[in-house]
Structure 1
Amino acid sequence: MARKTFWFMTGTLALLVAVVGIGQWNGIETTLADSADSQVNGPNEITGSSSEAIAELKRIIHSDDHNFVYLYKSNCGLCTKLEPLISTAAEKKGVKLYRFNLTKYGGAKDLKNEKGLPLVHFYKELPAVAYYNKGWLIAWIEGDESEKKYEEFYEHFQFGDDDGHEHGDGHEHKDMK
């Protein structure tokens, strides 16, 4: 009988250790996810419930203003790496850069303009910075580019299409990539 009690107590103790360990691991995962979000959240972050955030993004895209939106995923290593570079380039050029987390608000990928063209899901890789005006995706830059490339992108489009400047090759709209 002593042997059965020993195995019962050992099994109970092992189960208790496993339950406590799993609970602590879930807490660690939550903490890691929260810290990943806090690493990439920044000024001009579009937030709220899913419907509120997507509605705000639509408002920005359809605005008469010329807007830049940084699209990223909180679990994207390249996004985390490039975020400081992308933000610094925008600051240097005096550009207001909106930020949109596609991990939290993946439904935004379905947004299209009046002609049915994608407004958010256009990139081959993240991060991406998109330039929008009056419901149109005008241009974008994406992926692992230098700070200088991001600065050139912002500078090229920061005044919009009505700035009276010729943009390099004479074309008003072009992908800088």
Structure 2
Amino acid sequence: MKKIMIFSLLFSLAACRGNSEQKVVDPVVEFDSAFCERLMPGLGGGITGGDGSISIDLKDGRSLFMWGDSFFGDVINDKRAKDTKFVIGNTFTIIDKNGQLKTLYSGTKENPLAFIEADQDGKSPVWYWPGHGFVKNGILHLFMSKFHKVGEGAFGFEYLCCDYFRLDVETMKIRHYID
């Protein structure tokens, strides 16, 4: 047993020795316009921009894309329409196996709100930001970070906690949540 452990240690040290001399390679980033057009079509008033994207396989031929702050509205000649709405927090897009999109949010088309809304404390705006998730036995398990506004500017916010949600994959309705 000692011989195996010594060999493993020597092999590991030899394998790691060359790592300090490796060159850093600049990654090549390419814009995939076909995928973006499919997921965020410029016309139709749906989500035309969002950050913090996380995708989850729903295990039924559909994929879920969770977005952080999002824009709703048309993009014409590479410019957002004047009536574009901005949503703080989270919105979701489901794409089915035929490429059909379904956008999930609360509120109305004229006044869209986050899909999973946070209870407000009355002191400052509170919202959920997408964390990550997985599907098991028809339940979508989501981890969402909760933030609130504490100051001015784009970064005037503070992390509060991480809450856990369980949604029915078929209906996307919240079945249970733990804060």
Same fold (TM over 0.5): no
Structure with greater helix share of residues: 1
Structure-1-length-normalised TM-score: 0.29
Relative contact order, higher structure (CA 8 A, sep 6+): 1
Structure-2-length-normalised TM-score: 0.29
Structure with greater strand share of residues: 2
Larger Rg: 1
